[in-house]
Chains A and B, each alone.
Chain A
Amino acid sequence: MIIASGITKTFGRLRVLDDFGVTMGGGHAFSLIGPNGSGKTTFIKCLLGTVIPDSGSVTLDGVDLLRSPELRSRIGYMPQIGRYPDNMRVAQLFDMLAELRPSSQKRDEELMDAFEMRRIADKPMRTLSGGTRQRVSACAAFFFDPQIIVLDEPTAGLDPVSVEILKEKVNAERRRGKLVLLTSHILSDLEDMTTDVIFLIEGRLRFCRPITELREESGGERLGRLMARLMREAQNATPMPPS
Chain B
Amino acid sequence: MILKIVKHVLLDILRSRIVLAYTVFLAAASIGLFNMDADTGKSLASILSMVLMLVPLTSLIFATIHYYNSYEFIELLSTQPLRRGTILLGEYLGVSLALGLALLAGVGLPVAAYDSSLTGGCILLAGLLLTFSFTALAFLGAVCSRDKARGMGMAMLQWFFFALLYDGLLLLVLFTFQDYPLEKAVIALVALNPIDLARTFVMLQMDVSALMGMTGAVMQEFLGSRLGMTFTLGVLTLWIAAPLGLALRVFRKKDL
Query: Do A and B associate with each other?
Result: yes
With contacts A50-B75, A79-B75, A100-B1 known, is A86 near B81, CB below 8 A? no
Among the interface residues A50, A81, A96, which one has the most CB atoms of the partner chain B within 10 A?
Answer: A50
Nearest-neighbour CB distance to chain B for A16, whole angstroms, equals: 10
Residues in B whose Cβ lies below 8 Å from that of A188: none
Q: Is the CB of A101 within 8 A of B81?
A: yes
Chain B, interface size: which category? 20 to 34
Residues in B whose Cβ lies below 8 Å from that of A87: 11-12, 15-16
B14's closest neighbor in chain A, by CB?
A: A87
Judge if B82 is at the interface, Cβ distance under 8 Å. Answer: yes
Judge if B226 is at the interface, Cβ distance under 8 Å. Answer: no
Distance between Cα atoms of A75 and B82 in the complex (Å): 12
Distance between Cα atoms of A88 and B12 in the complex (Å): 6
Judge if B70 is at the interface, Cβ distance under 8 Å. Answer: yes
Q: Is the CB of B12 within 8 A of A96?
A: no
Nearest-neighbour CB distance to chain A for B7, whole angstroms, equals: 9
Set B4, B79, B254: member contacting A99, Cβ < 8 A: B4
Judge if B76 is at the interface, Cβ distance under 8 Å. Answer: yes
Count residues on chain A whose CB falls below 8 Å from chain B CBs: 29
27 contacts between A and B (CB under 8 A): A48-B78, A48-B79, A49-B78, A50-B75, A50-B78, A50-B255, A50-B256, A51-B256, A52-B253, A52-B255, A73-B81, A75-B79, A79-B79, A83-B73, A84-B73, A85-B9, A85-B70, A85-B73, A86-B12, A87-B16, A88-B8, A92-B8, A100-B1, A100-B4, A100-B5, A100-B80, A101-B80
State the B residues within 8 Å of A (CB): 1, 4-5, 8-9, 11-12, 15-16, 69-73, 75-84, 253-256
User: Beyond A11-B255, A50-B256, A87-B15: 16 further Cβ-contacts under 8 Å?
Assistant: A50-B79, A69-B84, A75-B79, A82-B72, A83-B72, A84-B72, A84-B76, A85-B12, A87-B12, A87-B16, A96-B8, A100-B1, A100-B4, A100-B80, A100-B82, A101-B80
